Amino acid sequence: MSTPMAALIQLTLFCFVVSNLFLSGVLATTFTLSNKCEYTVWPGILTNPGVAAISTTGFALQKDETKTINAPAAWAGRFWGRTLCSEDSTGKFSCATGDCGSGKVECSGSGAVPPATLAEFTLNGAGGMDFFDLSLVDGYNLAMQVTPQGGTGNNCTTTSCIGDLNGSCPSELKVTSVDGKESVACKSACLAFQQPQYCCSGAYSTPDVCKPSNYSQIFKNFCPDAYSYAYDDKTSTFTCAHADYLITFCPPLSTSQKSSQEQTTTTSPSINGTGGTGTMTYEGVSSLDGSGASRSTWTHLSGSHAIVGAISITVALWQLL
């Protein structure tokens, strides 16, 4: 093979790869999980039925650690945090709050045992918008915040449930640690009393009939942006187009703006060669997440990508002449 030919092939491949990575960064949605708690959190991820799943379903996130994962197009599901987790002598993994019952770090299709604070997403839903919320409908175990990055829309803003609700949790809803000394989570009234007026079930299954309760109001006062009961949509549902999302556990009280800006710089797509794109931002070692990145890249390797590939080849030829 002649040297110019080899150079042409190399250049073509380079342009093709770079342009694909760039476009994937723009088209795919990334979730960046950040742990600002003073302790390790084990995020759990559950994909809704009938939707292509995210490649990981659970992992450990050390204090101050950040991990970015890619979501398939039109993904829908939830994130939550598990706390006070450990492995017993037989190797069974379990957590004091948010446990998914899998016995392993990966939840593999199981959801959180309530109470657990949930961050819920439906990407590319009605009108091409992403819908997201924080929910305390299943109770509370951790302060969480969702910050959209680079999206557009009227309700494309940060939603947060900041602070430590287990401190202001009424005693009848409190969940304490095994030794009974520490309050670790707060049940919803639905979970604690299993009554239709709290669960918006049975005779209370419509928004007109199921009103906020004295208990849901405690949650609402504490976290005004989060769902405090099933029909809390008006003040709790947020929408963005074309955003990536930063999910923070134990968000700092005063620096939510700052952390959102920090993250914007680390996850924005970049065209300057080695800088990396949003989809390439990955600060962990799990090969599962790595394969997620490549799957996402190939999923989007169609249509506009083929056109860009053709342009890359044309540019490469032109540069050689």
Ligand X SMILES: *[C@@H]1O[C@H](CO)[C@@H](O)[C@H](O)[C@H]1NC(C)=O
Residue 266 contacts ligand X per CB under 6 A: no
Give whichever of 228 and 236 is closer to ligand X, judged by the CB atom. 236
Q: Which of 101, 109, 128, 167 binds ligand X (CB under 6 A)?
A: 167
Residue 283 contacts ligand X per CB under 6 A: no
Residue 234 contacts ligand X per CB under 6 A: yes
Say if residue 297 is exposed, middle or buried (CB neighbours under 10 Å; 0-12, 13-18, 19+): buried
Using alpha carbons only, give the angle 33, 36, 41 rounded to the nearest 5 degrees.
65
**Cα distance from N-terminal residue to C-terminal residue, the chain:** 18
Stretch in the footprint of ligand X (CB under 6 A) among 22-30, 193-201, 272-280, 302-310: 272-280
> What one-character-per-residue DSSP string does 46-115 give?
EEPTTSPPPS-SB--B-TT-EEEEEE-TT-EEEEEEEEEEEE-TT--EEEEES--SSSSSS-TT--PPSS
Residue 275 contacts ligand X per CB under 6 A: yes
Q: Would you call 162 helix, strand, or coil by DSSP?
A: coil
Question: Of all helices (H) and strands (E), which one includes residue 196?
Answer: helix 196-199
Query: Can you read off the two tokens belonging to residue 307?
Result: 């056109």
Q: Which of 12, 30, 183, 228 binds ligand X (CB under 6 A)?
A: 183
In angstroms, give the least distance from the CB of 242 to ligand X. 17
Tell me if the bond preceding 115 is cis, omega within 30° of 0.
Answer: yes
Give whichever of 71 and 95 is closer to ligand X, judged by the CB atom. 95
Residue 83 contacts ligand X per CB under 6 A: yes
In angstroms, give the least distance from the CB of 159 to ligand X. 7
- d(C-alpha 26, C-alpha 38), whole Å: 33
Stretch in the footprint of ligand X (CB under 6 A) among 105-113, 123-131, 161-169, 286-294: 161-169
Residue 155 contacts ligand X per CB under 6 A: yes
Binding string to ligand X for residues 26 to 65, with x set by CB under 6 A, is what? ----------------------------------------
> What one-character-per-residue DSSP string does 116-158 give?
--EEEEETT-GGG-EEEEEE-TT-BSS-EEEEEES-BSTT-S-
Q: Which of 3, 90, 254, 272 binds ligand X (CB under 6 A)?
A: 272
Closest CB to ligand X: residue number: 275
Give whichever of 88 and 234 is closer to ligand X, judged by the CB atom. 234
Q: Which of 3, 154, 254, 302 binds ligand X (CB under 6 A)?
A: 154
**Nearest alpha-carbon partner for 153 in 231, 239, 213, 52:** 239
Stretch in the footprint of ligand X (CB under 6 A) among 66-74, 247-255, 269-277, 290-298: 269-277
Residue 152 contacts ligand X per CB under 6 A: no
> Is the Cβ–Cβ distance between 75 and 56 less than 8 Å?
no
Residue 257 contacts ligand X per CB under 6 A: no
- d(C-alpha 242, C-alpha 176), whole Å: 41
Stretch in the footprint of ligand X (CB under 6 A) among 85-93, 104-112, 182-190, 294-302: 182-190
What Å distances lie between residue 182 and 153, 194, 251, CA to CA?
A: 41, 24, 21
Neighbours of 299 (CB within 10 A): 15
In angstroms, give the least distance from the CB of 40 to ligand X. 11
CB neighbours of 295 closer than 8 A, spacing ≥ 6? 55, 70, 72
Residue 238 contacts ligand X per CB under 6 A: yes
Residue 117 contacts ligand X per CB under 6 A: no
Residues that bind ligand X (CB under 6 A): 83, 154-155, 164, 166-167, 170, 182-184, 214, 234-238, 270, 272, 275-276
